[in-house]
Structure formats: C-alpha cells, structure tokens
Structure 1
Amino acid sequence: MDLLDNTLFDIPMILWIVALAILIGVFAVTWILRSIFLKRYKRLSASGIQDLNLFIAGEIGRTSIIFLMILSFYVASLVLPFEVRFRIFINLVMEITLLVQVGIWGMGIINYLIDRKARASIEDDPSLVTTLVAMQKIAQFVVWTVIILIVLENLPGIEITSLIAGLGITGIAVALAVQNILGDLFSSLSIVLDKPFVLGDSITVDQFAGTVEKIGMKSTRVRSFQGEELIFSNSDLLSSRIQNFKRMQRRRTILNLHVSSDTPAEKLKQIPEMIAEIIRGQQQVTFDRAHLFDIGGAGISYEVVYFIETQDYTVYMDRRQVINLAILNRFQEESIQFATPSQTVYIGNPGV
C-alpha cells in the first residue's frame, strides 16, 4: 500500500499503474487486430482475389507499429494530469503521427482505385493505363504536400504564409537550376496526355526499335528486339521522329518480279491474273494490283501490291512466305522462268 501512496512527478502512483495498464491493453488489442488483418491480406493476395475485403485488410495492415505505440501512449496519458506544456507536446506528437498515418492510408486508397481502374481498362484501352500511372503519381504528391503543410502549420513558431512565399522564390531559383529535369517532366506529361505511344507499343526512334516497357517521369525505357534495354530521356524522345507500329492496322507490301524475256506474250498476259488469284485465296490478305511495268535488260518486270490485314509482324511474314511459295509453284507449273542477271562479253582482235 505504501507504493500506491507514493507519487512520481507529483502524480499518484496509482494513476501511473492505471495508465500503464491502459497503454499495454490498447497496444495489445490494436496490434492483434493489425496482425489478423495483415494475415488476411496476405492470404487474399496469394489467392488472387481482388475485392473490397482485400482493400480493407490491406489498409489496416498498413497501420504502422509506431503509430500504434504513440496512440497507446496518448490514450494512456489522458488519465495522467500532466502540465499544460507537456500536454500540448503530447497532442502535437499525436497529431503529426496521425497525419503521417493518414498519408499512408491515403496512398493505399489511391493505389487501390488506380489499380482497379487499370485492371478494368488494360484490355479495352491500354493507353489509359499510362494516364492512370501519371495520375497516381500526381495524387500521391498532392496528398503528401497537403499533409506536410498541415504539419508545419501545427508546429509552433512557423508562419505557413511566409514559408509558402519563401518557397515560391526558392522554387524559381531551383527551376532555373534543374530546367533539363523539368523539361523531361513536362515531356512525360505530354506523353501521358497526347499518347504518341503507350506501354506495350512497338516503336522505332531514329535507328532504334523495340517495345515500350516503362514511361517514367524523366525517361522512357524500351526493350529492343535484340534484348537490351534502351533508355531515352522524355524530352529527346519527343523531339525525335517516332514510328508506332502497334497502331498499324494493315501492312502494304510491294513485290517485284522479273521473268525471262523469252516468256511468250500469252503467258505474260496471264501472269497478273495468276498472281491476283493466288493472293485473293489467302486469309487476311487484300489484293490491290499487279502490272507489267518495265521491259529491260533484266527481263520483263512486274509490280504487285497487296495488303496484309494485321499488325503482327510474324503473321505478316508468314503470309508473305505463303504467297511467295505459291507464286513459285505456279510459275513452275506454267514453265515460266525468272530472269537471271546476265552479261555478254565480246572479245575481238583489234588488229583484224
């Protein structure tokens, strides 16, 4: 009983014991709840389930241990008659900790909404994914900026209006120093809004070609067809000529054929019809024209134009191969010979 009659910092020991019990109880309960929801989140994530239950479990699982400790201490401190200055300090620490935790929860909400929209639109509109990623970064920046300003406003001795004015002047100086970085940043926003390409597009930039893997705030990463990663700064990328093959709906093909000049005229008249018949018999292929367009030393020349209705390069090459083999077989059946380069050399005796 003597212990309970004592005081610590002019506060009865019984109140300290009650506060300690509250601290342990609050922390134990919140930590157990956090652990339960965290296990549930991991189980739902492993099963591939994407629903509101996963989001709620994930949000609770994101609750920081430090936040739980400070929350428990704050609740326990309510039974202790601290001095006003110390009470103000405890309240300030609790407010700052709560704001940071709200920021963490806010990040989870933003990520959940953006990821959900991205999964729903990735097949119908892949270009929207790039826009959503940029919106995600901007929203995260805005949330943390607001939280930092609120924290600074609650700190004693800091005038937030003067601070913002000072940051504006400093921002101008910083902008001049990092104008190249800012140029890449605005170029990134231009790529997101204008969408000259999106993730997964096959593009050619100058002499480089590959598939877009990532569009960042400063650079864009492209996986070349040889396998290496190509990194372009966004400003350089937009100032270059970009060919986007993903948006190609059909591929125009020009085929030049040269047959022997010894081919009978009747056969020469039939060649365009033969080729048209072969091309029209193929799937995903549209015949345009076939003409005898030149007669010269290399033989009789034909120009054939047709379209392959696909953007897939492998399918395109497969159709070309089938058409070329069919033309070879038909020419063999019709005994039509291809022209071969030849050169006649006359040897004479200058003295004769």
Structure 2
Amino acid sequence: MSTNIELPKSGADLQVQARSFVQEAGQWLHNIQDNWLTIAIATAVAVVVFFGLHMVRRWGLRLCKQGEGVANWYAVVGRAVARTGNFFILMTAIRLVIGYVDAPPMLYTTATFLFTIAAVFQATIWLREVILGGIEHRTASEEYQGSSLASAIGIIRLLVTIILFAIAFVVVLSNLGVNVTGLVAGLGVGGIAIGLAAQGTVADLLAALAIIFDKPFRVGDTILYDKSKGTVERIGLKSTRLRGPGGEERIVANKKLLDYEILNSTNRDYRRMALTFAIANSVPAEKLAGLSDLAKQVITEEKLVFSHAWFTGVVPGALTFEVEFDSPSPSADLADAAKHRVVIAMLRRLEAEGIRLYVPAMLQAEA
C-alpha cells in the first residue's frame, strides 16, 4: 500500500496548497445538489460500516471474556480484535466510500493517507496482541504458575512492542515518500551491534522461550543433564534454578541447559530396576536351571512387571545372575521400596531352595 504525498517545501507552497484545497472543496460543495443521492448513499454505507466494525470489536471482547483472558487461542484472537481503535474504524468507513462521492483530489489523497497510517498501526497492534497473547497463553498454563519467567513477560512485551512499532514507523515514512534506505541500514547495523554485545543474554532469552513452547521440562520435574541431577524450582529469563539431591541450589543458564541431553525422570511411564546376584559355583546345575522361574515368581508375587532373569557371566568361584523388573510407577521412592522387597524375597527363596550365594574366602575366614 503506497500513498506518496508531496510535502510543502516552504510556507508559500503550503499557502498555495491550502488555497487550492479550498477552491476544490468549494467547487465540490457547489456540485452537491447534482449528486446528493450518491453522497447520501455513501454516507449511509459509511455509517453501516462504522457501526458494523464496532460490533466486530464487541464480539472480540466477548470472546476474550469467554476465554478468561488468554486461556484459549480464540480468546487471544478476541483480545486482538478488541484492541481495534476508533480512528481505524472511522478511516476505514471513510476510505470505503470516498471514491464514490467525487471528492476533491486533495481530500481523497489525504483520506487515503490517513487510512494507510491507521491500517499500518492497527495491524501492528493486532500482531502485537496475538504474539504476546500466545506467549502469555503458554506462561499462564499450570506448570509455569509462580515461576519468574511469568514476570519476564513485561520485558518480552517491551521488546516486541519496540520492534513492531519501529517497522510500522518505517512503513509510514515510506508512504510519505521519505527515503528510508539509510534509516533501515542504520537500524540494521545498530541491531547487529546490540545483538553481538548481548548475544549471551539474547541466547538465554530465546532458550527460555524454547522451554515455554517445547516444554522439555516443567517446574517440579526431576531432570538429569550432563552428569548432574536436580528438581526444577524456577524457570527464569536467563537461567533455570534446580534443587540438587544434596539440597543445594543449582543455577544453569537456559542455553547451556538445552545444549545437554535432558532426561526427564518425572515423565517416566515406569522405572526399570536391575539386581545382580553372585551364586556359588558349587550349587548343582539342576537347581540353577530353575532359577529364572523362581525370580519370575517372586517378582510377580510382588505385583511388579517381570522383564528377564538369566546368568550373565562366570567369575572365579561364582556365577553372576541378573534380574530385571519394572516398577509400574514413575516414583523413585516406590521403585526403591519395590527393589528392597524383591531382594528380601529372593534371599528367602534362595535359602529355602538351598541355593547359596558366593562369599569370598576372606570373608569366610573372618566369619
């Protein structure tokens, strides 16, 4: 959309343009009696459009209220529609009908230019509301309640607003006929300089947004990363705070955290446990043959999911026997308790079957 206007270069030029506009307007008013019906119809259409757009804005308000702010995506769109300005509504109504009333060229050009300004800034406001609404929709979800990332929305809102309105300002200047090439180049160089100076902070901010939308973990999740482990307590604008197994607080930059392979223990469907027994090699082969069935029976009686049980190797004086089973709960405490019960039950069954565990000779001598 381009509406170039020749701006007056001096006071004399302004006077000439004003005098020309008055003459054209006077001639148009003089001719109203010849096309009064067309003007009346155009005015009626403009009024209908004006109130119709107001109805659309009220519809957006209802959508926003039904969705409780940003709880749903249609509420986000409704909030954007509700931000439609009166000036845009007025200029839209005028722009749609002014071409049918044979208005003076300067009046037509002025109305078109004002509509362009209104449309550019209105589109900027709509886009801003949709972007911010989408981010707030994510941060307002249950897993982000109480996190410091929600308080960082103010900074994100400021950055989005500056960027969008800077683009809108450049578009308006371009429609005025101003050469914006130098301005765009300057903004680009300035943006690059700022980006290089704050690339660490910007990278962490983008990583924070990636955490919001991709959701590799949430507040309260227990995660393993690199060689560390912790429970997520707070997702911030620059860093994530975790509580380590020893009670210590760990602060990790968002970008660095996402560079690791993250194992989310909270999202487990189950926990697999493994036990290794050293069976004395003096145990008869007939008893060893039924050891897998014995382990399966013990695990099934404990209401756990049996995976496998077999001999895994031979060491001096012993045979290593491995048992794997699944705890159906993701809870580490329940899995450890299940492991404890299986060990006790296995020892009792092995003792009842006369299957001895391997005990090094040094320990036998001490006993």
Work out whether residues 223 and 229 of structure 1, in 8 Å CA contact, stay in contact via their aligned partners in 2.
yes
**How far apart, CA to CA, are the structure 2 residues paired with 1:109 and 1:169?**
28
Q: 1:312 aligns with which of 330, 336, 339?
A: 330
TM-score between both structures, scaled by the size of structure 2? 0.51
**How far apart, CA to CA, are the structure 2 residues paired with 1:178 and 1:55?**
31
Greater relative CO, 1 or 2 (CA 8 Å, sep 6+): 2
Q: What residue is the counterpart of 2:174 in the other structure?
A: 153
Report Cα offsets for 1:173-204 as digits up to 9, x if no partner.
Answer: 334322333554676799899x8x82447532
Give the SS at the match of 2:66. helix
How many residues in Structure 1 have an aligned counterpart in Structure 2?
288
Aligned pairs for 1:219-258 (under 5 A) are: 219=238, 221=240, 224=243, 231-238=251-258, 240=260, 242-245=262-265, 253-257=273-277
Q: 1:102 aligns with which of 123, 139, 143?
A: 123
Deviation of 1:102 after TM superposition, in Å, equals 1.7
**How far apart, CA to CA, are the structure 1 residues paired with 2:251 and 2:259?**
15
Compared CA separation, residues 93 and 256, structure 1 to 2 (3 A): same
Report Cα offsets for 1:236-269 as digits up to 9, x if no partner.
Answer: 335556445478787553324468x8x9845994
Deviation of 1:289 after TM superposition, in Å, equals 1.9
**How far apart, CA to CA, are the structure 2 residues paired with 1:332 and 1:69?**
89
Q: 1:181 aligns with which of 193, 196, 201?
A: 201
**How far apart, CA to CA, are the structure 2 residues paired with 1:173 and 1:29?**
47
**How far apart, CA to CA, are the structure 1 residues paired with 2:209 and 2:134?**
20
**How far apart, CA to CA, are the structure 1 residues paired with 2:90 and 2:203?**
47
Identical-pair percentage:
20
Report Cα offsets for 1:194-234 as digits up to 9, x if no partner.
Answer: x8x824475323324235975x8x64536547799855324
Compared CA separation, residues 312 and 33, structure 1 to 2 (3 A): same
**How far apart, CA to CA, are the structure 2 residues paired with 1:286 and 1:324?**
16
Higher relative helix content? 2
Report Cα offsets for 1:313-344 as digits up to 9, x if no partner.
Answer: 44644542442343244346457787796774
Work out whether residues 289 and 304 of structure 1, in 8 Å CA contact, stay in contact via their aligned partners in 2.
yes
**How far apart, CA to CA, are the structure 1 residues paired with 2:328 and 2:169?**
52
Q: What residue is the counterpart of 1:198 in the other structure?
A: 216
Q: 1:40 aligns with which of 62, 83, 89?
A: 62
**How far apart, CA to CA, are the structure 2 residues paired with 1:49 and 1:174?**
35
Q: What residue is the counterpart of 2:144 in the other structure?
A: none
Q: What residue is the counterpart of 2:83 in the other structure?
A: 62
Q: What residue is the counterpart of 1:348 in the other structure?
A: none
**How far apart, CA to CA, are the structure 2 residues paired with 1:249 and 1:264?**
40
Letter in 1 for 2:181: T
Compared CA separation, residues 112 and 225, structure 1 to 2 (3 A): same
Give the SS at the match of 1:285. strand
Compared CA separation, residues 153 and 233, structure 1 to 2 (3 A): farther
CA root-mean-square deviation: 6.0
**How far apart, CA to CA, are the structure 2 residues paired with 1:114 and 1:235?**
19
**How far apart, CA to CA, are the structure 1 residues paired with 2:255 and 2:217?**
18
* 1:287 correspondence with 2:305: no
Work out whether residues 292 and 302 of structure 1, in 8 Å CA contact, stay in contact via their aligned partners in 2.
yes
**How far apart, CA to CA, are the structure 2 residues paired with 1:241 and 1:74?**
53
**How far apart, CA to CA, are the structure 2 residues paired with 1:235 and 1:55?**
29
Work out whether residues 256 and 302 of structure 1, in 8 Å CA contact, stay in contact via their aligned partners in 2.
yes
Compared CA separation, residues 57 and 47, structure 1 to 2 (3 A): closer
Deviation of 1:286 after TM superposition, in Å, equals 0.2
Give the SS at the match of 1:304. strand
**How far apart, CA to CA, are the structure 1 residues paired with 2:68 and 2:256?**
41
